Structure 1
Amino acid sequence: MAGRTRLLLVLTAAIVTVGIAAAVGYRAFETEKAPAGSTVASLGIGGPINLVAASGARFTSADLEGKPHAIFFGFTHCPNVCPTTLSDLTLDLDDLGPLADRLKVLFVSVDPERDTPQIMKDYLSAFDPRIIGLTGTPTEIAAIAKDYHVFYEKVPTADGDYTMNHTAGVYLMNAKGEFTGTISFEEERDVQIAKLKRLANG
Structure 2
Amino acid sequence: MIRTIAIAAAAIAVAGLGAMYVAGFGDADSEDRFAQCRASNVAGGAAQIGGPFELVSETGETVTDKDVIDKPTLIYFGYTFCPDICPLDAARNAAAVDLLEERGHMVKPVFISIDPKRDTPEVMAEFTDYLHPRMLGLTGSEEQVRAASKAYRTYYQAQEPEEGAEEFYLVDHSTMSYLSLPGHGFVEFFRRDVTPEQMADRIACFADAAS
> What TM-score, normalized to structure 1?
0.79
Verify the 8 A CA contact 2:58 2:124 in the aligned structure 1.
yes
Q: What secondary structure does 2:137 align onto?
A: strand
| Match of residue 151, structure 1, among 148, 155, 158 | 155
| Structure 2 counterpart of 1:62, from 30, 43, 66 | 66
- CA distance in 1: counterparts of 2:66 and 2:178, whole angstroms: 18
Which residue is 2:128 aligned to? 124
Alignment of structure 1 residues 129-144 onto 2, 5 Å: 129-144=133-148
Aligned to 2:180: 173
Structure 1 gaps, min length 5: 1-18
Once residues 61 and 177 of structure 1 are traced to their aligned partners in structure 2, the CA distance between those partners, rounded to angstroms, is 12
Distance 1:50 1:110 in 2: 14
Contact 1:52 1:58 in 2 (8 A): yes
Output the CA distance in 2 between the equivalents of 1:117 and 1:61.
17
Consecutive unaligned residues of structure 2, counting only runs of 5 or more, are: 30-40
In structure 1, the residue matched to 2:195 is 188
1:57-77 CA-to-partner distances (Å, cap 9, x unmatched) read 222223236423211100000
| Deviation per residue, 1:70-117 (Å, 9 max, x gap) | 11100000011110011111211111125342x322110000000000
Identity %: 28
- Report if aligned partners of 2:69, 2:180 keep a CA contact under 8 Å in 1: no
Give, in whole Å, the separation in 2 of the partners of 1:65 and 1:123: 20
Amino acid corresponding to residue 57 of structure 1 in structure 2: E
Offset of residue 179 of structure 1: 2.1
- Number of equivalenced pairs: 181
* Greater share of helix: 2
Structure 1 residue 190: deviation in Å?
2.3
SS of 2:131's equivalent? coil
Residue of structure 1 equivalent to 2:33: none
- The answer to whether structure 1 residue 29 and structure 2 residue 33 are counterparts is no
1:88 alignment counterpart: 92
Corresponding position: 1:79 with 2:83: yes
SS in 2 for 1:179: strand
Q: Is the 8 A contact 2:57 2:139 kept in 1?
A: yes
1:124-178 Cα shifts (integer Å, max 9, x gaps): 1211111110000000011111111010000023344311001101011222243
Please tell me the root mean square deviation across aligned C-alpha atoms, in Å: 2.4
Q: What residue number does 2:112 align with? A: 108
Counterpart CA distance in 2 for 1:107 and 1:78 is 13
Tell me which amino acid in the other structure corresponds to 2:109. V
